[in-house]
Amino acid sequence: MKRLFVYRALDAKGQLVTGESPLADPEILAERLHATGLHPLEIRRARVARQRRRPIALRLLHPRGPLVRPRALALYTRQFATLMRAGEPITRALRVLARQTDSAPLARTTLALSRAVASGTPLHDAMRRHPRVFDPLYLGLVRLGEMSGGLDEALMRIADVLDRRAWLRGKIRSAVVYPCTVALIAALITIFLVWKVMPKFSAAFQEAGKELPALTAGLIRWSEAIRANAVLVLILLMLLLACLRWMGRRPWGRLALDRATLRVPVLGTLCRKTAMARFARTLSTLMAAGVPILQALDIVRGAAGNAVLSRALGRAHLAIVNGESLHTTFAMQPVFPPLLVQMVAVGEECGEMTRLLTRMADLYEREVDDTVKALASIIEPVMIVLVGTIVGLIAVAVFLPLVS
């Protein structure tokens, strides 16, 4: 971890100034302070609060993810851009944002940014210390905005991208939440019937001494097996979840999981379109801001959100370094659809890459929307029939011996 020094100094008017700096050597920091007209009184290493390491079970079942939701970060970024366009200094704008935001983690992060910028750290370097809030796209555009003097425009571009990401995320969530909720309700109903209802009927049937129908006998045996091995089944499910979480935190595991997800018939298509929409939107935003293609591909790779796409972008980067064209490198990677490859080829020929990538992002976002709507119209009746079938089978198995 990079060392951090705090200092106290006097300015030309004799007023006390305090701040912090990531410079590794206190002598270099003292020279830097003298060069800015400050007389250092004290320079010492900052005390960094040692974070308690979470238990391994908690880290596996609930790994640390982004601190801030995309929609909240988009609103924050848009407000930041508005303050910068109004001519506010960065430190004052950050203090206003810290008071304005409703997100406690974002408020703490903003105050830390304000202190770092006040001590002379560039904004993008200060943001780099908070990777769970600001991704590579955010850092790259902020750095470019600081260098070109167009920080407000860069922040507006970031806010637009984050808004589209939040929209896509909401679409995916709406496609997943309903079937998962219905499946959970069906599972709870089944567990209740198997755990509570079936044992009572089983005891009554055994006392009657009657031969049970095959459906009823099979359901009773299944119920007894589940009740006898419930703890083992629960442990196996928790181990499976922990294993998937553990794999998801490692590059090879994330690659394997994302590759398997893309092969699922319907879900894979939806995930592929979502990844392409995010990729096209991010790359078009970077190119519109004037980021060179190699640097843009590096940034997109870090913000891809899909290990298969990230790996393909890494290979494309190497191919371009070796002299290949962009559309040729994309054509060699199966993850890129032929339509996207063709549009990239046209964009390279006519010099309209940014405009065509934006159109492709719009196209894939519309396709995601249409796919989610189609899935919702299909899944709802299917889940209702599934729940009805499960409950109906159990009801028939229970009452069949009473009728026969």
- pTM given for the model: 0.67
- Partner residues linked to 163 by β-bridges: none
Which pLDDT score is estimated for 82?
92
Residue type (1 letter), 188: L
Say how far apart CA 192 and CA 247 lie, in whole Å: 33
Element (H, E) at 362: helix 353-403
Task: Determine the 3-state secondary structure of 54 from DSSP.
Answer: coil
CATH number belonging to the domain at 70-164, selected among 3.20.20.140, 3.90.180.10, 3.40.640.10, 1.20.81.30: 1.20.81.30
CATH topology of domain 260-379: Receptor-associated Protein (1.20.81)
Query: Does 70-164 match 260-379 in CATH topology?
Result: yes
Distant-in-sequence contacts of 113-122, Cβ < 8 A, 24+ apart: 115/19, 115/20, 116/20, 117/90, 117/91, 118/19, 118/91, 119/19, 119/20, 119/21, 120/19, 120/21, 120/32, 120/36, 121/21, 121/22, 122/146
User: Is residue 114 classed exposed, middle or buried when 0-12, 13-18 and 19+ CB atoms within 10 A define those classes?
Assistant: buried
- Alpha-helix runs per DSSP H in 249-352: 251-263, 265-288, 293-302, 307-321, 326-331, 338-350
Which pLDDT score is estimated for 183?
79
User: Is residue 159 classed exposed, middle or buried when 0-12, 13-18 and 19+ CB atoms within 10 A define those classes?
Assistant: buried
Tens-of-pLDDT digits for all 404 residues of the chain? 445 677 777 777 767 777 777 655 677 677 777 777 787 877 877 654 444 444 444 343 344 456 788 888 999 999 999 999 988 899 999 988 888 888 888 888 998 999 999 888 889 889 988 988 898 889 889 988 888 888 899 999 999 989 988 888 888 887 778 778 887 888 888 788 777 777 777 777 777 666 777 887 888 888 778 778 878 888 998 999 888 888 888 888 888 888 888 888 888 888 888 889 989 998 998 888 888 888 888 888 877 778 888 888 888 888 888 888 888 888 888 889 999 999 999 988 888 888 999 999 999 999 988 888 888 778 878 888 888 888 788 878 777 777 76
- Partner residues linked to 5 by β-bridges: 21, 45
Give the tens place of pLDDT for each residue, 285-344: 888 888 888 888 888 887 777 888 888 888 888 888 888 888 888 888 888 999 999 999
Question: What six digits make up the tokens of 290?
Answer: 């004037």
CA 288 to chain centre: 24
Give the tens place of pLDDT for each residue, 330-384: 888 888 999 999 999 998 888 888 899 999 999 999 998 888 888 877 887 888 8
Q: Where are the domains of the chain?
A: 5-45, 70-164, 260-379
Say how far apart CA 126 and CA 112 lie, in whole Å: 8
Say how far apart CA 171 and CA 152 lie, in whole Å: 29
Largest CA distance in the chain: 101
Say how far apart CA 263 and CA 278 lie, in whole Å: 19
